[in-house]
Structure 1
Amino acid sequence: MVTRSAIIFSASLLAMTAHGTAFAQETGAKSEADTDQGGLGEIIVTAEKRAENVQRTAAAVTAVTGESLVEKGVVDLRAVQSLVPSARFQQEGQSTQVFLRGVGANLDFANVEQVVSLNFNGVYIPREGTSAPLFDIERVEVLPGPQGTLYGRNAMGGTVNASFVKPKREAGFSGVLEAGNFDLFHGTAIANAPLGEHLAARIGVDYTHTSGYMTSGAEAKDDLAIRLGLLYDSNAGFDMYLWGYFVDKSGTAPNLVNKGTNPTTFAYDENAFLRPNPWDDTRTGALSALAPFGQPKAEDLTYKNYVAGSEINVDLSDNVTLTYIPSYFKLDLDYGYWLGGVPAYYEIGYKQTTHELRLSGDSDAVKWIAGAYYYWMSVEQDVRVLPGTPFEGIYFNNNKGIKTGIAAFGQVTYNISPSFRAILGGRYSSDKAEAAGISFMLQPYTFDRTFNRFDIKAGVEADIGPASMAYATFQTGYAPGTYNPFPATPGNDNLVKPAKLTSYTVGVKNRFLDDRLQLNLEAYYYDYRDLYIQAFDQSKLFNPIFNAAKVEIYGVQADLKLKPTRADTLSFSVSYNHARNKDFITPAGDNYNGLSPAYAADWTVSAEYSRDFDIGSHGYLRAQADARFESAFYADFIHNLGTRQQPYVKANASLTYFANNERWNLGAWIKNITNEPVIAATAFAGIPGPGTAYLEAPRTYGVRLGFNF
């Protein structure tokens, strides 16, 4: 068995001998190094709120370029999962549950916020907004571990940052057209125009149509997104980037299917689905007796999301910059769906404003950043089971939910010597939560609490070779307390205590063989206190949130990336993540010590290979294949029957012709080649049960045309 001490000792030894590296996966970078020297090139990231080479960032950043996202057919956040080690980016209705290294939040109820934050252009996006399409993207960055210093309350488990392509000072028109199975039509069109010496505008439109993955027609897409951008750059120390987008989804909502019952014997069978086709959510024929409330069907979906933001930068001197990032977010969502044979209804509305103001500076001895942050969020939610029947019940109701917060933060990197640096940071946060609604007992409840917290970061970096860096970091993060939706009494408070995470990481980053080989390693240990955790049992109207007193997580992430020739690229990563409850006994005396938290697989292994073939003077052909293995995991902390995902492998491939003038490309792709059914958000109970699960997409394939003029 891999032990924590062995992991950290091994990482420390590798750091001292310059043979390891922290995991920083670079995908799809195109640079002069690629063209002239055949090397791996570099990716510039802003994970720590300043632009720097990902290989010089003292953190396990996974960075993926927009070109690579298009080539791999990644059109939303969920599909990024295949590119990130030890991660689950999975569907729950129109939400995306994000788990990094076993840290995340399940269930899409308003009293459980994300603990891995998604940010668009530096703006926090609430959970139901995470299903917005990804298009015209500069890059996506994934940063695991608590980021309490720079990102605050929703980044206890890490951050996912997506940056849009900014307007450019040149006219251009580009896009993508795709067609595939399930009646797929997907089109993206981007127009860019200079509007003078200092001003440029950019507009993008993205549309997706599919028939439903589910046999009933559920999970069909009819999604439209429009994005606008305006960039003013004075070339004299002042620039302003304004952006906004609108998303309108009017397809059908996904349904959950039953898992864990043999359809022939009706005996428990953990890996069985009710139909030979796992995505068949109907109950016709011999299964009609399992449809007491009618046949599951495709329910209409209404989703409208409006977002606007900006980034303003002012150079106050040669090495001091003032940055201001305001934003506005509004979302209205409602749909019906089926939990196996049980109908349900989901409705939620958000309004949010955020403001971040920061100063940053850079000198020969010191890099620093200091800032203030404010947010206000309003959320109303109603989730019901068996709507419109005599058995209608409330799963969750919140007719008033207000969250506000302020924070002050700062971080300093000091050069102790030309090759050795120290990092120190801190953030003070004050978060207030107010709520009112109707409990499952049809009684009114209220909640009003304020939570104060100071998070810290301390670390060191050392250059240990011409292209090698070692680091060690200590940092903390927290999630504000929340509530259970029932009336508080003197003997039964509805408070759920804040969750806290303390992490220790060591790692190294290396480039060898004239920039052709990257070898990276990071080891980590997380002390996770008062994790708030909830399991969903659809046979119960009330599913309480508990605080798990202590969860211990430790592991390693390793990455190898090799470009032996200009035509070949090989990537391989392996992640071991040991997450277990150390002290988790519920008030009723149920003991879950020794069990893994939800969606925390021990092993994740992925590999990718691509090769370019010259086929004349006009272009080249790129063949690409990748595969990802994930060991078994459970979808809830109880390890209920029907909630276990068996180990699986998913593989994808593509073949694309690129014109040398970069004006167009044409390719074919296939995803989930073996049609592997993999669970996403999963609940206990059902008809017949024992579990009901959202499923990741089945095998899909298609052709793609890209153009750039």
Structure 2
Amino acid sequence: MLSAPGAAWAQQPGDDADADMDVIIVTAQKREQTLQEVPIAVTALSAADLESARIEDTKDLQFNAPNVFLSANRNITIRGVGSQSFGGTSDTNIGILNNGVFLQSGSTFGDYFDLERIEVLRGPQGTLQGRNTTGGIVNFISQKPTDEYGGYVTLQAESFNGIRATAALNIPISEQFSQRFAGNFIKRDGYTKNFFDGERIDGRDQYTVRSSTRFDNGTTSADLVLTYFNEDSNRANAVKSLCLPDPATGCSTDGVDTQFPLNTFPLDNFLLGGITRPGTFVDNPPDLRSVVIDINPVQDNDDFLATFELNHDFGDFLLTSVTGYREGNSRSIRDFDQGYRPNAFNPGTFGARTVADDGNGNGVLTYQLFDQPTDIFVTTTDYRTAQTAAGFREQFSQEVRLASDLDGRFDFLIGGFYLDADGGGSVNTYLPAAAVVALTTSGAVESYAVFGEVYVDLTDELEFIGGLRYSDDKKSISTANGLFALPAPNVAEESFDGITGRAVLSWSPDVAWSEDANFYASFSRGYKSGGFNPGNAVNPTFEDEVIDAYELGAKMILSDGAVQLNTAAFYYDYQDLIVGNIVGTLATNVNIPSSEVYGFELEGVYAPGNGLRFEGALGLLNAQIKSPFQSSDAARGGAFFEIRGNDLPNSPDVTLKLAAEYEYEVGDQWRLTPRVDYYTQSSFFSREFNTPSDEVESWDQLDLQLAIDNDNMPWDVTLFVKNVLDEDSITFLETNSNLVGSFKSAFLLDPRIFGAALHVDF
């Protein structure tokens, strides 16, 4: 068969592969295949790719795959499809998998380290990949233990007093058992200077440890991976506020500036009528990496994940079981108004409230500021706000698959999936009114699915793949509001279900001009279940969204193995797109009936020999709302606006990556490998309203490095500079609650970082 599952289980790179061209084995179809065989748009990054391009986290990952974009430093968007919704039971559009286990809340457990590969699948994954996703998946596969003793240590020193350390140790226990330990540690100062107290914020102090145990007797294999992540940082993903003041709304939608919003917050008048003075904000520094805030951020996280994969080969059938368990907690503190307002209160009597005078004509208030971990009160002349958040997550998942390896032209794969996930938390907003706006939410998701695919060789060169999946999602939510009474009921339950799948024709002709050609045409449907708007009595629920995707692709190896070229053209019929806004303290998610996405992608590698290697990835995208739709914009007083014809959020028209490296010998066995990586993307909008204040300008990223190694030495050194031009690149402009004037929070890429890394094998 062209790509029978059994034939691919033990597949290795062919002997005729060019020495300078990577042959990567992927599991995008739940069976081991070379990247070029898979009739799906996949970017696969091997351990060597991750090292050579210095892909250390998700911000770096977006530079290395077309039409893949990281918004708000946490949400991945693929081909214009990404999570725009809010709420405890809202699903992700992009599935995050760790060793094949679907993560309900999408964490990637800190920075990347000791990975075998990362697979980025673009397009709806409606059959095989964990839960249903409409945009794609990212699967992180950790290094497996081997039967050889050894390991490595990497120490990296970088700017901002940064230290990174990674280590791994592989221990063969017996002929059938092996063990691997790995760990990663990061500590650095913050990139942002707070002129209120002179401290640097947005620093990191985190570590991850991993244990991998493998059993393999040739017929049965089992892999148990345990991962624990801990963080205690003064990190805030977005620390810079931007606002073009507007007397009606606080911040204008006509653009952004570094000015603070006017003192027109609704809660000022509602809770502090007449008490607050206008124009009390201290100037917001124009530098995007400088702030004046009176509450420094806090970020505490711990996360544990266990994955267990069991495979048993019956000869004609392979039985696979994938089990996952996860639990974690998080706590954060941030400055709610992202500014400093000294002497903000008028002394006097205001109705039933009397505000004391400090003797200088300034009002003095006593109120709760935040809980850390016990309640903290302040007596102050300053307007100080804080917001604390605490959350928990727990999930169990089980997937079972049976794949055939039959003689003849037909094979199949069938399976079932179960997920039980709980999560929730509380958000407390502290305001100078002896009142706390508190929202507590807990939600649960129970998901069942059955799925299957058939693989039929119509001819020796033409294969048909057909798959179906039925998903049933049961969701429940409970909400409580500590300031404003919620309309009953505040507990809700709902069920969502859908049938999805794919159909693919894959043609692999034997042609003289390509050593390995694969042309495919596919249709796939992806589904994202609906959910709840916590505490929102007007719009308590929202519906499913569905994407029907059509794709034509080609994968080729050319020029005697020196060129690898993959292309894809796609069209999406996007139905009931889910988007959300924060109105006050409540999430409001709605469905936009119809949108349209189409585009083109090209990925290429050229390795002509003599140590030269060139890489490129181009993404072209058009993503627009097609149906008439009136949407309420909280940033403009809740008024409704027609958004037909607007671009989907976080959808740059163009993304482009170019890279080149040259490995050459110097002296006795010494090698130097300089490398340059360049990435650029066009402008885009961060919200579906496409106002001038939603537009994020285009930006570039230029990275340089020089690797030094010797065949006779167990170590190598890399000197590097990331973001050479020190650009303040914005990845997202988040519109905050209208309670604080709807100012924008700017999410930034890292500034210029330079350093050196020492890697030692043993």
- Could you say which TM-score interval applies, normalised by the shorter chain? 0.7 to 0.9
Cα distance change on mapping 1:69 and 1:649 into 2, 3 Å = same
User: 2:533 aligned with 1:484, yes or no?
Assistant: yes
Q: 2:480 is matched by which residue type in structure 1?
A: I
- Return the match for 1:446 from 484, 491, 507: 491
Deviates more, 1:508-517 or 1:634-643: 634-643
In 1, the alpha carbon distance for the partners of 2:335 and 2:705 equals 34
Match of 1:532 in 2: 578
Cα distance change on mapping 1:584 and 1:497 into 2, 3 Å = farther
Q: Deviations over 1:406-439 (max 9, x none)?
A: 1110111110111001110000111100001125
Question: Unaligned stretches of 5+ in structure 1?
Answer: 1-29, 276-282
Q: 1:680 is matched by which residue type in structure 2?
A: T
Q: 1:574 is matched by which residue type in structure 2?
A: L
Q: Deviations over 1:194-252 (max 9, x none)?
A: 001111000011110011112132221110111001101112x1111111011110111
Cα distance change on mapping 1:393 and 1:638 into 2, 3 Å = farther
Contact kept? 1:602, 1:631, Cα under 8 Å: yes
Cα distance change on mapping 1:506 and 1:301 into 2, 3 Å = same
Q: 2:298 is matched by which residue type in structure 1?
A: D
Match of 2:564 in 1: 518
Q: Find the residue that maps to 2:646 and give its secondary structure.
A: coil
In 2, the alpha carbon distance for the partners of 1:601 and 1:144 equals 16
- Return the match for 1:164 from 106, 129, 142: 142
Contact kept? 2:684, 2:696, Cα under 8 Å: yes
Q: 2:328 is matched by which residue type in structure 1?
A: L
TM-score w.r.t. the length of structure 2 is 0.81
User: 2:405 aligned with 1:362, yes or no?
Assistant: yes
Match of 1:702 in 2: 755
Q: Deviations over 1:521-558 (max 9, x none)?
A: 11000011111101346xx3334111010110001001
Cα distance change on mapping 1:228 and 1:174 into 2, 3 Å = same
User: 2:514 aligned with 1:470, yes or no?
Assistant: no
Contact kept? 1:33, 1:40, Cα under 8 Å: no
Contact kept? 1:446, 1:487, Cα under 8 Å: no
Match of 1:18 in 2: none
User: 2:481 aligned with 1:432, yes or no?
Assistant: no
Match of 2:371 in 1: none
Contact kept? 2:97, 2:139, Cα under 8 Å: yes
Shift of 1:699: 1.3
Q: Find the residue that maps to 2:61 and give its secondary structure.
A: helix
Q: How many residues align?
A: 654
Contact kept? 1:535, 1:637, Cα under 8 Å: no
Q: 1:259 is matched by which residue type in structure 2?
A: L
Q: Find the residue that maps to 1:386 and give its secondary structure.
A: strand
- Structure with higher Rg: it is 2
Q: 1:528 is matched by which residue type in structure 2?
A: Y
Shift of 1:128: 5.5
In 2, the alpha carbon distance for the partners of 1:188 and 1:370 equals 39
Q: 1:362 is matched by which residue type in structure 2?
A: D
- Identity across matched positions, percent: 23
Q: Find the residue that maps to 2:41 and give its secondary structure.
A: coil
In 1, the alpha carbon distance for the partners of 2:150 and 2:699 equals 43
Deviates more, 1:515-524 or 1:105-114: 105-114
Shift of 1:315: 0.9
In 1, the alpha carbon distance for the partners of 2:108 and 2:628 equals 30
User: 2:64 aligned with 1:83, yes or no?
Assistant: yes
Q: Deviations over 1:168-190 (max 9, x none)?
A: 11100212110011111000110
In 2, the alpha carbon distance for the partners of 1:284 and 1:652 equals 38
Match of 1:645 in 2: 696
Contact kept? 1:502, 1:528, Cα under 8 Å: yes
In 2, the alpha carbon distance for the partners of 1:568 and 1:243 equals 37
Match of 1:6 in 2: none
- Superposed, which structure 2 residues align to 1:304-453 within 5 Å? 304-316=302-314, 318-338=315-335, 340-341=338-339, 343-363=386-406, 364-386=408-430, 390=434, 392-394=436-438, 396-398=439-441, 400-439=442-481, 441-443=484-486, 445-453=490-498
Contact kept? 1:535, 1:683, Cα under 8 Å: no
Q: Find the residue that maps to 1:534 and give its secondary structure.
A: strand
Shift of 1:134: 1.6
Q: Deviations over 1:552-609 (max 9, x none)?
A: 0001001232111241111122111100001151476531111111111111111111
Match of 2:301 in 1: 303
Q: 1:258 is matched by which residue type in structure 2?
A: S
In 2, the alpha carbon distance for the partners of 1:239 and 1:571 equals 36
Contact kept? 2:475, 2:531, Cα under 8 Å: yes
Match of 1:258 in 2: 241
Q: Find the residue that maps to 1:50 and give its secondary structure.
A: coil
User: 2:635 aligned with 1:591, yes or no?
Assistant: no
Match of 1:4 in 2: none
Contact kept? 2:253, 2:691, Cα under 8 Å: no
In 1, the alpha carbon distance for the partners of 2:545 and 2:696 equals 27
Deviates more, 1:337-346 or 1:461-470: 337-346
Contact kept? 1:199, 1:230, Cα under 8 Å: yes
In 1, the alpha carbon distance for the partners of 2:94 and 2:327 equals 20
In 1, the alpha carbon distance for the partners of 2:29 and 2:128 equals 7
Q: 1:197 is matched by which residue type in structure 2?
A: E
Deviates more, 1:173-182 or 1:443-452: 443-452
Question: Unaligned stretches of 5+ in structure 2?
Answer: 1-11, 195-199, 246-250, 261-279, 286-290, 340-384, 633-639
Contact kept? 1:271, 1:646, Cα under 8 Å: no
In 1, the alpha carbon distance for the partners of 2:235 and 2:110 equals 15
In 2, the alpha carbon distance for the partners of 1:206 and 1:247 equals 9
Q: 1:605 is matched by which residue type in structure 2?
A: L
Deviates more, 1:369-378 or 1:100-109: 100-109
In 2, the alpha carbon distance for the partners of 1:532 and 1:295 equals 34
Contact kept? 1:91, 1:696, Cα under 8 Å: no
Contact kept? 1:32, 1:41, Cα under 8 Å: no
In 1, the alpha carbon distance for the partners of 2:645 and 2:134 equals 22
- Return the match for 1:49 from 30, 36, 40: 30
Match of 1:210 in 2: 188
Contact kept? 2:551, 2:571, Cα under 8 Å: yes
In 1, the alpha carbon distance for the partners of 2:424 and 2:432 equals 21
Shift of 1:381: 2.0
In 1, the alpha carbon distance for the partners of 2:559 and 2:706 equals 29
Match of 1:622 in 2: 673
Q: 2:210 is matched by which residue type in structure 1?
A: R
In 2, the alpha carbon distance for the partners of 1:295 and 1:467 equals 58
- Return the match for 2:205 from 222, 226, 233: 222
In 2, the alpha carbon distance for the partners of 1:304 and 1:438 equals 25
In 1, the alpha carbon distance for the partners of 2:109 and 2:310 equals 27
Cα distance change on mapping 1:315 and 1:404 into 2, 3 Å = same
Q: Find the residue that maps to 1:82 and give its secondary structure.
A: helix
Q: 1:468 is matched by which residue type in structure 2?
A: A
Deviates more, 1:421-430 or 1:541-550: 541-550
In 2, the alpha carbon distance for the partners of 1:306 and 1:499 equals 31
Q: 1:481 is matched by which residue type in structure 2?
A: G
Q: Deviations over 1:651-703 (max 9, x none)?
A: 11111112225722101111111122222343225877642222221111111
Cα distance change on mapping 1:167 and 1:251 into 2, 3 Å = same
Shift of 1:132: 2.5
Q: Find the residue that maps to 1:457 and give its secondary structure.
A: strand
Cα distance change on mapping 1:503 and 1:343 into 2, 3 Å = same
Shift of 1:294: 8.3
- Return the match for 1:503 from 534, 549, 560: 549
Q: 1:424 is matched by which residue type in structure 2?
A: G
Shift of 1:325: 0.7
Q: Deviations over 1:255-302 (max 9, x none)?
A: 43122549xxx9998464469xxxxxxx996449xxxx9834432221
Match of 1:603 in 2: 654
Contact kept? 2:630, 2:642, Cα under 8 Å: yes
Cα distance change on mapping 1:544 and 1:586 into 2, 3 Å = farther
